[in-house]
A and B are shown apart, each in its own frame.
Chain A
Amino acid sequence: MDTHAALYEQGKARLEALRELSPRHTESLKQKMEQHGITRRDFMKWSAAVTSMLALPLPFSTLVAEAAELSDRVPLIWLHMAECTGCSESLIRTDTPNLDSLIFDHISLEYHETLMAAAGWQAEENLEHALEQYKGNYLLAVEGAVPTANNGAFLTVGCKGHTGLEIMHHAAEGAAGIISVGTCAAFGGVQAAAPNPTGAVGVAEVVHKPVVNLGGCPPSEKNIVGTLMYFIMFGKLPALDMFNRPKWAYGARVHDNCERRGRFDAGEFVEEFGDFGAKEGYCLYKVGCKGPYTYNNCPTERFNHHTSWPVLAGHGCIGCSEPSFWDDMADFERPLGRQLLYGFDATADAVGAVILGAAAVGVGAHAVVSVFAKPLED
């Protein structure tokens, strides 16, 4: 039996289990959709779209549809750590037409500082309430890195002055699944770049539980929502790659599916932004594209309702879904071999050439001395 069939069975079982739970809304999704003029046909089309996005075969679309109808029973708690709110901004750009708001009141969004109406004491009550009531069942999404230096004093949240680190430990305990949304939560991100003054780390390093990492600064709205849907459908985390990123989204390099790949193979490169090649859409490798080292689905899904992605806008990929890309992929406008080495003010190639030159000079000097050296006695 192939793995898809097994997965399908698993999905069905999960949905059965969810169906057992008492409904949160008195009205079903079906009724609600009818009220809003969303036909069954529209709904099934959306389900098929989500299914293909998740790289699953078409029969799964019925599961997706069932899952969507049931998913209002999955409470979601979304925490903000050391972050910039870019991932939340990405989330609100969810683009499947007419369905973003449906998902919005569909997953039970228990806590999300950017979107929730309650504030202060009452907001904290909501969090405590959700952590208690849905213990073992809630999905935990985290945005931002966890500062650990000085016992986490660089971040406190809430009237009680708990540090981000304490809140993270507490919230992770009862989570059915943890999703690190964005490179900061996944790998530490920008505040963890050298010299990492606040000791920021990814969530997985402090919770000792499996964590799904959604790399990206920010990850596209599709990668966030698609991963939530996977959890809802199958009640488990999706298949993950070497850095615990979902394979359905991070299974191929940016370079593999790049629209400029033909130009790369042909050896046609942009030499300078705005030049002839830039206007023609040549490959951006020589102006620093890190697509060859970066796993993400940007070229196929793009961002903002498939509007664009950085390479289309003429700038190379900066590798933002990879761990410590702020250090490893910089300089962002030069290829890897031509980066300035940290603390050297020179590229690896320059250093290599200098050492090679030194070797040649050494050899030459040795040769010259040899000419004048006393010959060997036999």
Chain B
Amino acid sequence: MSKRVVIDPITRIEGHLRVEVEVDENNVVQKAWSSSTLWRGLEVILKGRSPHDVGLLIQRICGVCTYSHYRAGVEAVEDALGTKIPLNAKYLRSLMQTSLYMHDHIVHFYHLHGLDWVDVVSALSADPAAAAQEAMKYTDKPIAAGEGELRAVQERVKGFVETGKLGPFANAYWGNGTYKFTPEQNLIALSHYLKALEVQRVAAEMLAIFGGKSPHPQSLVVGGVTAVRDMLSPARLQEWKQKHAIVTDFIHRAYKADIMMAAAAFGNEPSVLGGVAIKNFMATNDFVLADGEYMFDGGVIMNGDLTSVTDIDNDLIKEDVTHSWYKADGAQHPYEGTTIPDYTGFVERDTVYGKLPTLDGDGKYSWVKSPRYGDEPIEVGPLASLLVSYARGNKVVVKSVNELLEATGLPVEALFTTLGRTAARMLQTVIVAEEGLKTFDAMLLNMQTDESTYVKPEIDSDKEYQGVGMIEAPRGMLSHWIRIKGGLVENYQAVVPTTWNAGPVDANGKMGPYEASLIGLKLEDPTKPLEVIRIIHSFDPCMACSVHVMDYKGADLGEFRINPNGQ
């Protein structure tokens, strides 16, 4: 007798995500459905606007991977117009990208994903002295993990817990058997959770130095970057470097160490050793180290075969809406696609929580479409980026990955797990932080002979343009596609990392990475599905990004026909 588990809202993510799984009598997941329950229609809104405004508006897709959509939008327009931006502008954009990654990955691991690994209640019974010793095992210079600091954290949280009013920590899955940290390890991680709240602020300030603010920086324009005064100010440059040093220090002495600790503690926990069922990966090259030289490589890996990487073929990207709340005749290439919302609502059925409205797995059940690469689902994200660079023989990445594997004594296959995905994100953060200084130095060198940060783009309103901005967002490969006509946006599409990962089943019955990753997962208690949430969080979902309109060619707003009762 199978049982349905409904998880909505999936918290500690960006946006609105619902996941449902069906478990058998042994509580093993047989089927899974992932659904986004919000649609905003930003691409519709972009139509008919000035291409200069695209970046600012489309940035509002997401305030977490803020900047990524801004940059992709601006670069899509630049690609369409053939605008070649100055080298300084490329460096500044790359430094902002570095700042974003350092912020985003830290916040994701500690504040969004962390509580899937760390049992806050367990930390209360830890011995701070033993915990301080434990911390020394994973780095010789732990941060915020001295005995005194740990005791202070413990007392602070204890006072909080004793009131019985846990605020944001209330009613979570504390005590679940898949929490594998010892109380001491939990205490270390909890201390870092609090420390990371401070550090992420500094990382956000790094982005604000060249971006004006964070979230939603405001210094990119079609043709370059406006922050020329910040670039020319020695005090500003050093401010960035100083903050970079503070955050990098934390990454080495806390983030990396905590992942090593997790690898040791969770190394035998089955629920985190699966979770990569789709072994197809895609990434694009990004982070400018010097003119034409990139930190990470691009390409596609199929079936987990690291010996063969191919270049991305844009023509193979298609989107399927069989199970999405849109109408279309078969899978469509982004440029040829249409989007007509077709909301069918939920189906009432028995669940482990009683009768509830649930996803209609046989019909349409998500606002996310299902992108496919040559009919195959693809995973994108830090893991994909590292694997592609690794397979390409990228020296820095190969060295980092090998060092990690050596230190943990794990084979390369260990990367193809939930734990591996989380570790890859950390590894990417380390590389981004360290290598980012190369970008910084290259900019200093270039600035001595060249102060330009902007070229004026030319738009001929009699011509039609078409272009794509393809970058790596913190959640994976992101591409924005634009067509410009009459000097205005003719149509706009964003193919977003979470769309690749979170899309529903396609016409061929193939599941996307989210759904596939859950099959075969055994739950300790189906009413408290921590294992599911941990796997989903390891992808770093960003739902607002994933839900969008691909193309509006030939479809006007009169075609919004949605059953008013949502049934």
**A: which residues have CB within 8 A of B?**
24-27, 32, 35-37, 80, 82-90, 92-95, 98, 100-101, 104-105, 108-110, 112-126, 147, 149-151, 153-161, 163-164, 189-191, 193-198, 200, 217-218, 220, 272-275, 278-279, 281, 302-305, 307-315, 318, 326, 330-333, 340, 342-343, 345
Contact = CB atoms under 8 A, between A and B. Distances in A.
Interface string B554-567: 00010010111110
Nearest to B111: A115
A274 B356 contact: no
B44 A90 contact: no
A189 B216 CA distance: 14
A108 B165 CA distance: 8
Contact of B221 (A32, A189, A273, A311): A273
B16 A190 contact: no
Contacts of B326: none
Nearest to B344: A153
A195 B40 CA distance: 11
Nearest to A317: B218
A197 B53 contact: no
Given A86-B216, A303-B208, A125 B16 contact: no
B284 interface: no
5 closest A-B pairs by CB: A86-B63, A274-B454, A313-B212, A314-B226, A117-B172
A308 B209 contact: yes
Nearest to B16: A157
A274 B111 contact: no
Given A32-B156, A35-B152, A197-B41, A303 B11 contact: no
B9 interface: yes
11 contacts: A82-B38, A84-B544, A108-B165, A113-B12, A119-B10, A153-B563, A160-B357, A191-B40, A304-B213, A308-B211, A310-B219
A82 B533 CA distance: 22
Nearest to A270: B226
A333 B201 contact: no
Contacts of B53: 330-333
Contacts of A340: 50, 487-488
A117 B226 contact: no
Given A89-B63, A109-B168, A190-B57, A217 B216 contact: yes
A315 B212 contact: yes
Contacts, number: 343
Contacts of A309: 212-213
B152 A36 contact: yes
Given A92-B107, A153-B562, A332-B53, A161 B356 contact: yes
Given A109-B167, A272-B456, A315-B221, A120 B529 contact: yes
Contact of A150 (B10, B353, B562): B562
B523 interface: no
Given A125-B171, A190-B60, A120 B9 contact: yes
Contacts of A158: 8-9
Contacts of B343: 150, 153-154
> B interface, how many residues as a size bin?
35 or more
A93 B204 contact: yes
Contacts of B42: 190-191
B385 interface: no
Contacts of A273: 221, 223-224, 226, 228, 453-454
A326 B37 contact: no
B351 to A, nearest CB: 8
Interface string B181-210: 000000000000010011011001101111
Contact of B218 (A90, A110, A197, A318): A318
B23 interface: no
B214 A303 contact: yes
Given A153-B564, A194-B45, 13 more contacts: A32-B159, A35-B156, A35-B159, A82-B40, A84-B64, A110-B170, A117-B11, A117-B168, A156-B18, A161-B8, A197-B560, A304-B214, A313-B227
Given A24-B165, A273-B226, A101 B452 contact: no
Given A157-B8, A273-B454, A314 B165 contact: no
B294 interface: no
Given A150-B562, A274-B226, A85 B201 contact: no
Interface in B262-301: none
B232 interface: yes
Q: Secondary structure at chain A's binding surface: helix, strand, loop or mixed?
A: loop
B63 A85 contact: yes
A217 B61 CA distance: 12
Most chain B C-beta atoms within 10 Å of own C-beta, residue among A163, A220, A307, A332:
A307
Nearest to B7: A120
A98 B156 CA distance: 14
B373 interface: no
Contact of B41 (A189, A191, A333, A345): A191
A258 to B, nearest CB: 13
B44 A195 contact: yes
Contacts of A116: 11-12, 168-170, 172
B285 to A, nearest CB: 26
Contacts of A124: 8-9
Given A114-B14, A304-B205, A315-B221, A105 B172 contact: no
Nearest to A121: B353
B212 A308 contact: yes
A84 B346 contact: no
Contacts of A126: 170-171
A271 to B, nearest CB: 10
A28 B234 CA distance: 46
Contacts of B544: 83-85
B16 A36 contact: no
B357 A161 contact: yes
A278 to B, nearest CB: 5
B48 interface: yes
A345 B9 contact: no
Contacts of A191: 40-42, 45
Most chain A C-beta atoms within 10 Å of own C-beta, residue among B156, B170, B209, B562:
B170
Contact of B167 (A105, A121, A279): A105
B345 interface: yes
Contact of A193 (B57, B155, B205, B453): B57
Given A85-B63, A114-B11, A307-B208, A154 B171 contact: no
A218 B40 contact: no
Given A150-B562, A340-B50, A85 B62 contact: yes
B562 A197 contact: no
Interface in B488-505: 488
B305 interface: no
A122 B56 contact: no
Contact of B44 (A83, A197, A305): A197
Contacts of B438: none
B363 interface: no
Contacts of A25: 159-160, 163, 165
A278 B204 CA distance: 25
Most chain B C-beta atoms within 10 Å of own C-beta, residue among A82, A112, A302:
A82
Given A315-B218, A333-B221, A118 B40 contact: no
A82 B107 CA distance: 22
A190 B45 contact: yes
B215 A90 contact: yes
B160 A105 contact: yes
A128 to B, nearest CB: 11
Contacts of A147: 38-40
Contacts of A150: 343, 562-564, 566
B9 A157 contact: yes
B49 interface: yes
